[in-house]
Structure 1
Amino acid sequence: MITSFILIQTERTKITQVAETLADVDGISEVYSVSGNYDLVAIARVKDNDELATLVTNKIVDIEAITKTETMLAFRVYSKHDLDSMFSIGL
């Protein structure tokens, strides 16, 4: 599984609308509103790089209120939480 973090700038009045739209996109597991240079961070979890490319260049690009994105790939996870087991019990 490929995990990536997509940093997103939006039109200022459309942050909530964009977040809700992103949350409904297949491959996006979470969307956070954040402070700083970006308005939102979307967490993408997809099968492979081709699926990530399709997500970013064919789905996210169609959301008109998005003005800029930056995609970062995760190489390794360092966490005390076992995410796989959390998702398997439905949390």
Structure 2
Amino acid sequence: MQTIFVQVKCDLGRAYEVADEAVELEQVSEVHSISGQYDLMLKCYLDDDQDLGQFVVDTIQTLPGVKDTFTLIAFKAFG
């Protein structure tokens, strides 16, 4: 299982709509509103054989209201 965090910048006034759509995706386990350059942080779990880039491009970036994304790959969870 692969874990990635995707920061999402939304069109103005669309963060709640994007969050509602993202939380319904099977691979997305958590959606948080955040401050800073991005509006949302998505925690995603992907199968080991799933292409991370393809998932972000085809699934996250195509959600209505998504303006930009920044992806972080997690290597190990502690605690």
What TM-score do the two structures reach when normalised by structure 2? 0.89
Q: Give the % identical residues.
A: 28
* Greater relative contact order (CA < 8 Å, ≥ 6 in sequence): 2
**Unpaired stretches in structure 2, ≥5 consecutive residues:** none
Greater helix percent: which structure? Answer: 1
Whose Rg is larger?
1
Q: Cα RMSD over matched residues?
A: 1.4
What TM-score do the two structures reach when normalised by structure 1? 0.78
Match for residue 9 of structure 1? 9
Q: Which amino acid aligns with 1:35?
A: S
Q: Which amino acid aligns with 1:15?
A: A
Match for residue 42 of structure 1? 42
The number of residues matched between the two structures is 79
Greater strand percent: which structure? Answer: 2
Counterparts of residues 1-80 of structure 1 (less than 5 Å): 1-48=1-48, 50-79=50-79
**Unpaired stretches in structure 1, ≥5 consecutive residues:** 80-91
Tell me how far 1:51 sits from its aligned partner.
4.6
